[in-house]
Amino acid sequence: MTNEPVVLSTAFARFEALWSPRIVARVNDYDVRIAKVAGEHVWHAHDDTDEFFLVLEGELRIALREADGEREVVLPQGAVFVVPRGTEHKPSSEAGASILLFEPTGTLTVGDRHEAVPAHVEATVGHALR
């Protein structure tokens, strides 16, 4: 980690991989992660933590499996949404998006429970931004 400012446009230019977040900062015990996304992620749930999404560019959709059924939230550029802990969800983006996430350090991108992870999704706790 650096103690210098991070320009997000420069940080995004440093990598191409989709669904493979980069850690740009840490706040207490939380990672601030950025990711490029396109297509579908995987149905998953984080049993012990909420998941914060901020769409920096593009549009992100998040399908949710809740007690009263499934629904989908649509996040345009500039929108934020928090998936409550334990809620199964599947992010996706047809045209692609750039997102920022807050998650406890060490949180696996495919959660504690998930379907089979497709080849285009990386199961990781994030990568240091180089």
Q: Read off the CATH number of the domain in which 71 is found.
A: 2.60.120.10
Find residue 26's DSSP bridge partners.
31
Assess whether pLDDT exceeds 90 at residue 117: no
Euclidean distance between CA atoms 61 and 107, whole angstroms? 21
| pLDDT value, residue 115 | 80
The whole domain housing 122 covers 8-128
Q: Would the pTM of this model clear 0.85, i.e. be above it? A: yes
Mean pLDDT in residue range 39-54:
96
Question: Which residue matches tokens 């769409």?
Answer: 55
User: What average pLDDT does this structure show over 51-58?
Assistant: 98
* 1 located within any domain: no
Is 27 part of any domain? yes
Q: Average pLDDT, whole number, for the chain? A: 94
**62 in a structural domain:** yes
65 within domain boundaries: yes
Cβ 100 vs Cβ 114: under 8 Å = no
Contacts of 44 (CB under 8 A, 6+ apart): 88, 89, 90, 110, 111, 112, 113, 114, 115
Examine residue 24 and state whether it is found in any structural domain, yes or no.
yes
Q: State which H helix or E strand residue 12 sits in.
A: helix 8-13
Strand pairing partners for 69?
66
**Any domain includes 3:** no
How many domains, the chain? 1
Residues 20-29 have pLDDT tens digits of 999 999 999 9
The answer to whether the Cα torsion of 10, 28, 111, 80 is positive or negative is negative
In a domain, 34, yes or no: yes
